[in-house]
Amino acid sequence: MNLQAMKTMPRLIALASAIMLSSIHAAEDGFVEMFNGKDLSGWKTEGNWMIEDGNILTLKPRKGEWGWQRYHHYIATEKPYGDFILDLEFKFDPKGNSGVFLRVGDLKDHVNSGFEIQILDTHGVENPGHHDCGGVIKTQGPSKNMVKPAGEWNRYVITLKGSHLTVALNDEEIQNLDLSKTGMKDRPMKGHISFQDEGKRVWYRKVRIKEL
């Protein structure tokens, strides 16, 4: 074995160990990573989404891209999901705007065939409403404003079982509601998960799911 190979071997062993431990952890807690760290396999989009180092999904809007009705620019799972726990982290630039869509039945219209957990730069807003970060759009505002300032990582843990939805933001429960008693009662019980392209920079990482 030459000197270069000897220097490289410890790194390869460490990498293999990390991959093995990651697989064991996934098997133990039932969560699986939704991105592979290399490309957008398992997802579909015409937007300028890409994977950066550290398995970070980021949106880099192209010139002239703005607004929320460009549904084909959202990034959506190829697979539909019903009941699950979705665990992810996100951050945004100042005035950032995105959203986590759940059970989307029609990828040509995410807004009216699914429902959205808002992501928005509303740190410090008092008495947040349904359109502020943590709100379920057109349904209910978060019970408290837990979003961090722009540039800092936040964590969502979203649990959806039947019509029961709970959302924790940065380790605080902010939503606990029965969707069957809201304006979202007619939405599909199974559908795609998607992230919104609002034409603004946003980052997602540690995106994991556990089907229930």
CA 185 – CA 98 distance, rounded (Å): 23
**23 and 83 part of one domain:** no
Q: Is 36 exposed, middle or buried (0-12, 13-18, 19+ CB in 10 A)?
A: exposed
How many distinct structural domains can be found in the chain? 2
The answer to whether 186 touches 83, Cβ cutoff 8 Å, is no
* 3-class DSSP assignment, residue 90: strand
Q: Token pair 């010139």 is at which residue?
A: 63
**9 and 104 part of one domain:** no
**24 and 82 part of one domain:** no
Q: Token pair 């502020």 is at which residue?
A: 132
CA 204 – CA 40 distance, rounded (Å): 13
Query: What confidence score (pLDDT) does residue 193 get?
Result: 98
**163 and 64 part of one domain:** yes
Q: Over its length of 212 residues, how does the chain's per-residue pLDDT go in tens digits?
A: 555 545 555 554 544 444 444 444 545 689 999 999 999 999 999 999 999 999 999 999 999 999 999 999 999 999 999 999 999 999 999 999 999 999 999 999 999 999 999 999 999 999 999 999 999 999 999 999 999 999 999 999 999 999 999 999 999 999 999 999 999 999 999 999 999 999 999 999 999 999 99
**24 and 46 part of one domain:** no
The CATH number given to whatever domain includes residue 190 is: 2.60.120.560
**24 and 80 part of one domain:** no
**26 and 101 part of one domain:** no
* 3-class DSSP assignment, residue 89: strand
* 3-class DSSP assignment, residue 72: helix
**149 and 160 part of one domain:** yes
Query: What confidence score (pLDDT) does residue 23 get?
Result: 47
Domain limits for position 76: 31-211
**22 and 35 part of one domain:** no
**81 and 135 part of one domain:** yes
CA 157 – CA 4 distance, rounded (Å): 44
CA 159 – CA 150 distance, rounded (Å): 25
Query: What confidence score (pLDDT) does residue 192 get?
Result: 98
CA 158 – CA 88 distance, rounded (Å): 9
**37 and 93 part of one domain:** yes
